Structure 1
Amino acid sequence: MQKDHSVSAPSTPTGRLRHRRRSNEIPSEVSKANGSHLLVDDRSKYRSMLIRAYSSVWMIGGFAFVIYMGHLYILVMVVVIQIFMARELFNLLRRSHEDKQLPGFRLLNWHFFFTAMLFVYGRILSQQLVNTVTSEKILYRLVGGLVKYQMVICYFLYIAGFMWFILTLKKKMYKYQFGQYAWTHMILIVVFTQSAFTVANIFEGIFWFLLPASLIVINDIAAYIFGFFFGRTPLIKLSPKKTWEGFIGASVATIISAFVLANIMGRFQWLTCPKKDLSTGWLHCDPDPLFKPAYYSLPDWVPQWFPWVEISILPVQYHALALGLFASIIAPFGGFFASGFKRAFKIKDFGHSIPGHGGITDRMDCQMVMAVFAYIYHQSFVVPGSYSVEIILDQILRNLTFEEQLALYMKLGHIFQDREIGRH
């Protein structure tokens, strides 16, 4: 009898048939075998578009209302957005099992968050805060002391959190705790870097906050619409629904919008005036030369076809072209970075706060990149030289006490008197 030489597969784990594991950088819904992910081929695209449009209308309406209310309300909006962003990012790597064994560990994260908030906003808004309470001597002294010792206060708050972290280290949980500690500090860098520049832009004039933010919104909407109707050529693998048609169409629309919107926004003083305190209400000031229109006569043939004899252009419109160029070409890479980040953690969205859009962080990815550029561009190419009268006066008011300011005034008076005597 012939022996059966067939051998059954062993039941041990080493003998089991091993299947190739899918890369952890690609979510399952994106790794379908032959599916098309372009919006133009998406069967449910109209339903998604309606949900997205409905949410967009509410967001834009709420944003416009906050802008109308003024600087202080915009600041509050930025703070609320930061808190939601931090909450979404804190929850990204949260593990409920480990957290149950570490009571108070989440509270430590928020301790670092609010310490960073006190440090960043204290540095940016110190002079505005002092100017707000100058009429009250007691408050002025209190606020002056807080401003003077703000760095010391923040440092010891951070040291308290650092000691809290060390004292709560638990055996067999070290890797998780140190990972969360590093994760918390990365979140603080990401969130507060962009927020610091955003708040600084607001108090330089709402214009320098509103225009860059509006250009990102316009670019996002235009890219969605052009990709929705004309998208055929994939742009980047990190974002399967992004297309070259959407990218190019959005770039043209954003640059044109930048030039037009700068002309419209630049004519409202309450948008262009810098804010020196934390009071509410609209502002009135002598417009900066950038916001004073220059008139240009049109060729003789233009009035025959159009009812225009001359056009007015604000000098700031040329700066707006640079902002529009950045918002259309460079800022979208903030979205690509966020897409790669989400793929690394196998998530579709950072949260579910906004129907059709995901979380707050999903909407702020490009805004963060744009806010930093807008501030750097404004300080480099718009703000006058380092030794202008306004900047020197601001430094005197910011860094000197009232007694020191009075002493400086007396010394300047003596210098001017000596010069006047020398002339005669």
Structure 2
Amino acid sequence: MQSPAKGQDMNAPDNHAPATQADGVVDWLTNGTRDERFIDNIFTQMCIRLQQAGIPVKRATLHILINHPQWLGARMMWSNGMREAEIALVDYDVRERSEYIGSAANEIHDGATEVRERLEQDPSLGRKHALYDEMRANGLTDYVAWPLHHTLGKRHLVTFATDRPGGFDEGHIAGLRKLLPVLALVSEIRVKNRLARTLLETYVGSHAGELILAGATRRGTGTTVRAAIMICDLRDFTKISDNWPRDDVIDLLNDYFDAMSEPIARHGGEILKFIGDGLLAIFPLHEPNACANLLRAVAEARQAMAALNERNNATSRAPLNYGIGVHVGDVMYGNIGSSSRLDFTVIGPAVNMASRLEALTKQLGRNVLLSRAFAELVEREFELEHVGKHEVRGFSDPIELFAFQG
């Protein structure tokens, strides 16, 4: 076993490095990957090209920290004969589990600049980890891992293994090391592009994110969209936030938004924003069955909230209640805000109507209120309860309303 090197940075470029078997692969990484958007495709092609260059890579992995709301990172694994890398998402708890503790990733994270394990030697003399046992069982003879340095101190990980008798020779290692600076640059560009997309999807929604990435960033620009609009609000949240511990309030909100949001996304809706304890979502009518899908999402959200209240009851928490207002109409969908801070959202009388209906749910004792305009589009498919005409603040004429029980 060779201990992790603590000295020279293996990712530092050496302009005077001698020629290696990997030089053609380095040139391809530098000049031949401009049109490839995804790092997993580049990684797969890189491994195949290394084999063609005479470097006997049998297995390789690329571990990237992605800082997704749900995932710490992603692992791309390639092995001999694969045309696509396998991608596995890694959750935030991984560093507490045996698969991480004592692994090469653990050593690199703790500061090692190289981890090398000669798998042909007596296992009792080597590192103790299930991964090394697995690689030995698969006939691998040598394994090396290096950090991959991105800007601002971000460290990722790349590993290579071979089944060549005697393991990698010095020329193979020199070639692989020569790849590292270029692979770091190529991967950072793709990772940051994906991170930008992920952050936009997380904070403004997938459709709005696509529009922003496509250049829809000028203030005041937008389009008119006909959509079903849904506004949901949690009841008695002020009392809850005043009386519950802060962390409990955050957990409650996250559970509530999960119960509401996941059905919306599953049925093709887009959540444009969370507003305190409420949310605004649209189902554009150019999508087939948009209005019916909205009610299907509401029905599933109702079931999810019932299950959440059962769990809360088991921990002596009061049940949560909510109100949902639904309307359909034309909305302006685009950029609104100050010269330096924009919000990609929808505005218009149809949004105001949905908001007013949500406010009426408490007064009328219904969880879900629908306008006549919306109800006409779904009444043949869903059973609705007519609750009469009611005054709606901001609108001159009474509005005919329907309740949906799901």
TM-score bracket for the superposition, by shorter chain length = under 0.3
TM-score (norm 2): 0.25
Q: Which has the higher strand share?
A: 2
Higher RCO by CA contacts (8 Å cutoff, separation 6 or greater): 1
Q: Per residue, is there more helix in 1 or in 2?
A: 1
